[in-house]
Amino acid sequence: MKEISELLFPDDIRYTKDHEWARLEDGTVRIGISDYAQDQLGDVVFVEVPEVGATFNRGEECGTLESVKAVGSLYIPVSGEIVAVNNDLEESPALVNSAPYGGGWIAEVKPSDLSELDTLMSSKDYLEMLKGMTQ
Protein backbone atom coordinates (compact mmCIF):
# COMPACT_ATOMS: atom_id res chain seq x y z
CA MET A 1 0.00 0.00 0.00
CA LYS A 2 1.07 3.52 -0.72
CA GLU A 3 1.64 6.34 1.73
CA ILE A 4 -1.16 8.94 1.68
CA SER A 5 1.30 11.48 0.25
CA GLU A 6 1.74 9.23 -2.82
CA LEU A 7 -1.99 9.16 -3.64
CA LEU A 8 -3.91 11.58 -5.86
CA PHE A 9 -6.90 13.65 -4.75
CA PRO A 10 -7.92 16.06 -7.55
CA ASP A 11 -9.36 19.40 -6.45
CA ASP A 12 -12.27 19.29 -8.93
CA ILE A 13 -13.74 16.24 -7.21
CA ARG A 14 -15.84 15.90 -4.05
CA TYR A 15 -15.39 12.92 -1.70
CA THR A 16 -17.47 10.86 0.75
CA LYS A 17 -16.46 9.41 4.10
CA ASP A 18 -16.92 5.99 2.45
CA HIS A 19 -14.23 6.86 -0.16
CA GLU A 20 -16.40 7.43 -3.21
CA TRP A 21 -15.85 10.47 -5.40
CA ALA A 22 -18.22 12.67 -7.40
CA ARG A 23 -17.42 15.10 -10.22
CA LEU A 24 -20.01 17.37 -11.86
CA GLU A 25 -19.70 17.18 -15.66
CA ASP A 26 -22.23 18.83 -17.99
CA GLY A 27 -25.20 18.41 -15.64
CA THR A 28 -24.45 14.84 -14.59
CA VAL A 29 -22.30 13.56 -11.75
CA ARG A 30 -19.64 10.99 -12.59
CA ILE A 31 -18.80 8.71 -9.67
CA GLY A 32 -16.09 6.24 -8.70
CA ILE A 33 -13.86 5.26 -5.79
CA SER A 34 -10.94 7.31 -4.56
CA ASP A 35 -7.27 6.55 -5.12
CA TYR A 36 -7.10 5.70 -1.40
CA ALA A 37 -9.97 3.19 -1.69
CA GLN A 38 -8.52 1.41 -4.71
CA ASP A 39 -5.13 1.25 -2.98
CA GLN A 40 -6.70 -0.30 0.12
CA LEU A 41 -8.71 -2.84 -1.92
CA GLY A 42 -5.75 -4.04 -3.96
CA ASP A 43 -6.14 -5.46 -7.45
CA VAL A 44 -9.79 -5.08 -8.48
CA VAL A 45 -10.96 -8.17 -10.38
CA PHE A 46 -14.70 -7.45 -10.75
CA VAL A 47 -16.98 -4.41 -10.61
CA GLU A 48 -20.76 -4.71 -10.32
CA VAL A 49 -22.11 -1.46 -11.75
CA PRO A 50 -25.66 -0.21 -11.18
CA GLU A 51 -28.22 -0.54 -13.97
CA VAL A 52 -28.94 2.41 -16.24
CA GLY A 53 -32.33 3.81 -15.26
CA ALA A 54 -32.07 2.73 -11.61
CA THR A 55 -32.61 5.45 -9.02
CA PHE A 56 -30.90 5.73 -5.66
CA ASN A 57 -30.97 7.97 -2.64
CA ARG A 58 -27.66 9.38 -1.45
CA GLY A 59 -25.77 6.84 0.62
CA GLU A 60 -27.53 3.75 -0.74
CA GLU A 61 -25.49 0.81 -1.99
CA CYS A 62 -25.42 0.87 -5.79
CA GLY A 63 -22.75 -1.69 -6.65
CA THR A 64 -19.83 -3.77 -5.45
CA LEU A 65 -16.13 -4.08 -6.12
CA GLU A 66 -14.26 -7.34 -5.72
CA SER A 67 -10.52 -7.48 -5.30
CA VAL A 68 -8.10 -10.28 -4.58
CA LYS A 69 -8.29 -9.17 -0.92
CA ALA A 70 -11.91 -8.23 -0.27
CA VAL A 71 -15.39 -7.35 -1.53
CA GLY A 72 -16.48 -3.76 -0.97
CA SER A 73 -19.74 -1.91 -1.45
CA LEU A 74 -20.14 1.18 -3.59
CA TYR A 75 -22.42 3.84 -2.09
CA ILE A 76 -23.92 6.54 -4.26
CA PRO A 77 -22.68 10.00 -3.23
CA VAL A 78 -25.70 11.92 -4.61
CA SER A 79 -29.35 10.99 -5.13
CA GLY A 80 -30.55 10.50 -8.67
CA GLU A 81 -30.94 8.27 -11.70
CA ILE A 82 -28.12 6.28 -13.27
CA VAL A 83 -27.80 7.55 -16.85
CA ALA A 84 -24.57 5.78 -17.88
CA VAL A 85 -22.21 3.10 -16.62
CA ASN A 86 -18.60 2.35 -17.52
CA ASN A 87 -18.94 -0.82 -19.59
CA ASP A 88 -15.14 -0.95 -19.99
CA LEU A 89 -14.97 -2.23 -16.41
CA GLU A 90 -16.56 -5.51 -17.47
CA GLU A 91 -13.49 -6.40 -19.55
CA SER A 92 -10.94 -4.34 -17.59
CA PRO A 93 -11.88 -3.95 -13.91
CA ALA A 94 -8.26 -3.01 -13.15
CA LEU A 95 -9.00 0.44 -14.64
CA VAL A 96 -10.32 1.24 -11.15
CA ASN A 97 -6.75 0.74 -9.90
CA SER A 98 -4.81 2.32 -12.74
CA ALA A 99 -7.04 5.35 -13.36
CA PRO A 100 -9.56 5.80 -10.52
CA TYR A 101 -10.51 9.34 -11.66
CA GLY A 102 -10.26 8.68 -15.40
CA GLY A 103 -10.99 5.41 -17.17
CA GLY A 104 -11.91 3.75 -13.87
CA TRP A 105 -15.08 5.78 -13.27
CA ILE A 106 -18.10 3.61 -12.43
CA ALA A 107 -21.34 5.43 -13.28
CA GLU A 108 -22.95 8.76 -14.18
CA VAL A 109 -25.90 10.05 -12.22
CA LYS A 110 -28.52 12.62 -13.19
CA PRO A 111 -28.76 14.25 -9.75
CA SER A 112 -32.15 14.95 -8.26
CA ASP A 113 -30.65 17.60 -5.94
CA LEU A 114 -27.39 19.25 -6.98
CA SER A 115 -27.00 20.84 -3.54
CA GLU A 116 -26.06 17.38 -2.20
CA LEU A 117 -22.65 17.90 -3.82
CA ASP A 118 -22.05 20.75 -1.36
CA THR A 119 -22.29 18.29 1.55
CA LEU A 120 -19.37 16.21 0.24
CA MET A 121 -15.76 16.82 1.24
CA SER A 122 -13.25 18.86 -0.72
CA SER A 123 -9.92 17.19 -1.54
CA LYS A 124 -8.34 19.08 1.37
CA ASP A 125 -11.03 17.92 3.84
CA TYR A 126 -10.82 14.33 2.55
CA LEU A 127 -7.05 14.32 2.92
CA GLU A 128 -7.39 15.60 6.50
CA MET A 129 -9.88 12.82 7.26
CA LEU A 130 -7.47 10.21 5.87
CA LYS A 131 -4.57 11.58 7.88
CA GLY A 132 -6.73 11.37 11.01
CA MET A 133 -7.55 7.72 10.28
CA THR A 134 -3.91 6.72 9.93
CA GLN A 135 -2.52 8.43 13.02
Domains of the chain, by residue range, sit at: 4-111
For β-strands 107-111 and 28-33, DSSP reports them as antiparallel
**HSE value, Cβ hemisphere, 13 Å, CA-based, for 113:** 11
Cα–Cα separations (whole angstroms), residue 132 to 118, 126, 129: 22, 10, 5
Q: In a structure prediction context, what are the per-residue pLDDT tens digits for the chain, which is 135 residues long?
A: 888 888 999 999 999 999 999 999 999 999 999 999 999 999 999 999 999 999 999 999 999 999 998 999 999 999 999 999 999 999 999 999 999 999 999 999 999 999 999 999 999 999 999 998 865
Cα–Cα separations (whole angstroms), residue 133 to 28, 87, 125: 31, 33, 13
Query: What pTM did the predictor assign?
Result: 0.94
- Tell me the sheet residues that pair with 48: 64
Q: By C-alpha distance, which of 66, 9, 76 is closest to 42?
A: 66
Architecture of the domain delimited by 4-111: Beta Barrel (2.40)
